[in-house]
Amino acid sequence: CDPVAPSAVTALKELGIEVDVRDDITPDELAEVISDYEGMVVRSRTKVRAALIDKATRMKVIIRGGVGLDNIDVAYAEGKGIKVCNTPKASTNAVAELALGLMFALARRTPYADHSMKAGRWEKKALKGAELADKTLGIIGYGRIGRELGRKARALGMRVIAYDPYITHEDIVPLDELLKQADYISLHVPATPETLNMLDAAAFAKMKEGVYLVQAARGGVVNEQALYEALTSGKVAGAALDVYTEEPPKSTLLQKLIALPQVIATPHIGAATKEAQQRIGDEIVALAKTYLT
Ligand code: NAD
């Protein structure tokens, strides 16, 4: 129901699976045809909620190419005997590299510098940046992506601290400590009721003056209104956003946030590398082989 690597479609067919590629199918169209299918492959675009699952009478497996499962009512599907799986490792490096690249871009304002050059300006004096080496990076959510980012950041000479209440690791500190100490903060938590608005006005108030923020986790983990205020007050020196509460972002608040010169915005491209898409495709094929052949 969403785009996957063409090689994966070929490989699925080679397994003897009949494949229909409907990667722009609308929710209404999907509801109409879903009872014909024993398996479905989705990314984040297609929402698989209870009402749709009720119609999926022959479904054996729902494969989510990618990490989060927040677009699928997993417990409901599993209650109906449908296996739900994803490809969690395939995009780890791609997201970690994007987060790191965004930190460099924030520190040196390279997107702004490029825009100003293209507009014919030479703003050398206004573009005094900052360095990553010897700075403290606070990573919120120390799972696959968070730890990979930590490893890369350490190689650059950064000090790495992390907050994650569900794992034990020597880098872990209490959230308040992280907010107080970090020069850069990068979020890598899943979307859960607990992580919703986890960076709100109270959290921003605890941060260092001039902190940089990278949000490539899930929309809603950062309260966008509070972020807007923290940016305009100067508390947060710059923020890079890859995910939003609304995708594509249309609300006035999001338009205003994205338009700020100290914001770098990308359209949910964390996992959008050739390599990650290939790995996701390969994992989808392996899962389909297990559950559909
Ligand atoms: P993961 O499950 O390996 O790691 C998530 C970590 O967050 C876990 O260690 C978990 O214990 C921790 N966590 C859960 N609740 C928390 C809380 N309240 N406070 C702090 N930590 C908490 O997942 P991952 O593969 O590292 O992916 C992390 C997230 O990145 C995904 O859930 C997804 O939302 C996001 N993601 C974004 C993109 C993108 O395109 N921007 C791509 C892939 C994944």
Tens of pLDDT, residue by residue over 90-116, are 999 999 999 999 999 999 999 999 999
> Residue 32, SS3?
helix
For residue 54, pLDDT over 90 is answered with yes
Active site residues: 218, 247, 268
**Over residues 59-81, mean pLDDT:** 95
High-pLDDT (> 70) share of the chain, % = 100
What local confidence, expressed as pLDDT, does residue 219 receive? 97
Map tokens 């915005």 to a residue: 265
Cβ–Cβ < 8 Å for 58, 38: yes
For residue 67, pLDDT over 90 is answered with no
Ligand 1 atom at shortest distance from the alpha carbon of 189:
7
**Over residues 201-208, mean pLDDT:** 98
Rounded distance from Cα 270 to ligand 1 centre (Å): 12
Tens of pLDDT, residue by residue over 226-238, are 999 999 999 999 9
Map tokens 């690597």 to a residue: 5
Rounded distance from Cα 142 to ligand 1 centre (Å): 7
Pocket test residue of 2, 67, 222 for ligand 1, highest count of atoms within 8 A of CB? 67
- Mean pLDDT across the chain: 97
Tens of pLDDT, residue by residue over 174-184, are 999 999 999 99
- Contacts of residue 45, defined as CB under 8 A and 6 or more positions apart, other chains included, come to 1, 2, 71
- Among 133, 208, 134, smallest CA distance to 178 is for 208
Q: Closest residue (by CA) to atom 36 of ligand 1?
A: 217
Within 10 Å of residue 12's Cβ, how many Cβ atoms?
23
What local confidence, expressed as pLDDT, does residue 68 receive? 83
**Over residues 42-63, mean pLDDT:** 97
High-pLDDT (> 90) share of the chain, % = 99
What local confidence, expressed as pLDDT, does residue 210 receive? 98
For residue 146, pLDDT over 90 is answered with yes
Structure tokens at 111: 């997107």
For residue 197, pLDDT over 90 is answered with yes
